[in-house]
Amino acid sequence: MANYLPQELADHLKDGLLSFPATAFTSDLTIDADAYTDHIAWQSSFDVAGLFAAGGTGEGFSLTPAEAKEVVSLAVSTSRQEVPVLASAGGATAQAVQNAIDAEAVGAEGLLVLPPYLTECSQDGLFEHVSAICAATKIGVIVYNRANAVYSPETVERLADTHENFIGFKDAIGDIEQLTKVYARTGDRLFYLGGLPTAEVYALPLLQLGMSTYSSAMFNFAPEFALDFYSAVRRQDRAAVTEKLNSFVLPYSKIRDRVAGYGVSIVKGGLKVIGRDCGPVRPPLQNLTQTDLRDLEQVLAAAGIQLDRTTSAVA
Ligand SMILES: O=C([O-])C(=O)C[C@H](O)[C@@H](O)C(=O)[O-]
């Protein structure tokens, strides 16, 4: 049974940083439950508002429904009591509905709806897809505005009017006009989170568009840095944000941009560099090359994120 009513969950999540933990795999690409639970215990030991298990950075798109259920269940049983775990719902409507049912059954407090695979989507089609998921569960539901699932302000409002457990809007499109219009229509009825790749890059300007929080992929391997960054954003301390962008976030993003899909792979690279290896990524993603790993190690060291390390974790 969920501990948070949907609106309570939204109130809790909107004023804290959100973690999207990597899913640990063994070298043969099966789920590594020990490494994953270690990672969840470590992630939830920080002052983070919520853990989104099997999300984008958690390679939810590469998990079978049974694996997604297992991963969410491991996260729920391991996360510190005060840190709610959310799951994701993806693929075909029937599969996303099953993800929702499974997530609620294993104790997740909320759900992130990933874009449906492959096909183009009309607004009525998106409304029906999300409605089926909202109707299948009592826990809070957040939509992910990304790829083929671009929700018009009217659809967002319609979902908010129809489903009490529809609580949030996550964005990875970055269309200022769309975001302004969504917020103008639904305002405080929802909470808003940034979800563009390396969300820190956009965090300060998006705060003005109502996005009081974001999914921090780098929180996986640099939690203190990510929390300091979030605090600077919420204080609207532009000088501190700019200093952190220059010292770490932008050099890091340059490595991320070398290969498509590195937005997730670089997180596993970062975990390897800091000595908390969560294993390889699954195809279609590619692991960082040794050169990229070494460059990442240097960027982390130059930013002072690796102050204790004296020997390289990269072979
Ligand atoms: O589903 C996810 O993992 C994401 O939202 C993507 C990342 O967390 C993104 O916001 C980032 O790279 O910081």
Q: How far is the CA of 17 from the centre of ligand 1 (A)?
A: 12
- Active-site entry in 69, 170, 268, 272: 170
How far is the centre of ligand 1, averaged over its atoms, from the C-alpha of 312 (Å)? 27
Residue ID of nearest Cα to ligand 1 atom 1: 56
268 is catalytic: no
For a mutational test of ligand 1's pocket, the pick from 13, 18, 20, i.e. the residue with the most ligand atoms closer than 8 A to its C-beta, is 20
% of the chain exceeding 70 in pLDDT = 97
Question: What is the domain partition of the chain in residue ranges?
Answer: 6-224
Q: What is the mean pLDDT of the chain?
A: 96
Is 57 labelled a binding residue? yes
144 noted as active-site residue = yes
The ligand 1 atom nearest the CA atom of 20: 3
Q: Which of 57, 86, 112, 268 to mutate to test the pocket of ligand 1 (most atoms within 8 A of CB)?
A: 57
Q: What is the mean pLDDT of residues 90-112?
A: 98
Ligand 1 atom nearest 216 alpha carbon:
13
Q: In the chain, pLDDT over 90 holds for what percent of residues?
A: 95
Q: In the predicted model, what is the mean pLDDT of residues 118-125?
A: 96
Alpha-carbon radius of gyration of the chain: 18
Rounded Cα–Cα distance for residues 100 and 90 (Å): 9
Residues at CB less than 6 angstroms from ligand 1: 20, 55-57, 195, 197-199, 215-217, 263
Question: Is it the case that residue 315 has pLDDT exceeding 80?
Answer: no
The tokens describing 48, both together, are: 């983070």
**pLDDT of the residue at 23:** 98
Q: How far is Cα of residue 54 from the mean position of the Cα atoms in its chain?
A: 9
Residue with CA closest to ligand 1 atom 2: 56
User: pLDDT tens digits for 5-63?
Assistant: 999 999 999 999 999 999 999 999 999 999 999 999 999 999 999 999 999 999 999 99
**pLDDT greater than 60 at residue 309:** no
Instruction: Report the pLDDT averaged over residues 297-315.
Output: 77
Instruction: Say whether 309 sits in a helix, a strand or coil.
Output: coil
Q: Tell me the per-residue pLDDT of 186-224, one tens digit each, with 9 for 90 and over.
A: 999 999 999 999 999 999 999 999 999 999 999 999 999
State the DSSP string of 253-275. Answer: HHHHTTSTTHHHHHHHHHHHHTT
**Count of Cβ atoms closer than 10 Å to residue 101 Cβ:** 15
Closest among 288, 215, 211 to 252, alpha carbons compared: 288
Confidence band for 314, pLDDT divided at 50, 70 and 90: confident
CB 292 within 8 A of CB 281: no
| DSSP β-ladder status, 85-89 and 110-113 | parallel
Q: Which of 209, 271, 241 is nearest to 21 (CA)?
A: 271
Which residues neighbour 181 within 8 Å (Cβ) at sequence distance 6 or greater? Answer: 153
Tell whether domain 6-224 is in CATH 3.30.43.10.
Answer: no
The whole-number pLDDT of residue 308 equals 53
Q: Kindly report the three-state secondary structure assignment for every residue of 183-202.
A: HHHHHHHCEEEECCCCHHHH
Residue 189: predicted pLDDT: 98
- Please report which helix (H) or strand (E) contains residue 67, including its range: helix 65-78
Model confidence, pTM: 0.96
What is the rounded distance in angstroms from the CA atom of residue 113 to the CA atom of residue 60? 11
What is the rounded average pLDDT of the residues 110-117? Answer: 96
Q: How far is CA 119 from CA 116, 149, 179, 263, in A?
A: 7, 10, 23, 23
Cβ atoms < 10 Å from Cβ of 308 = 6
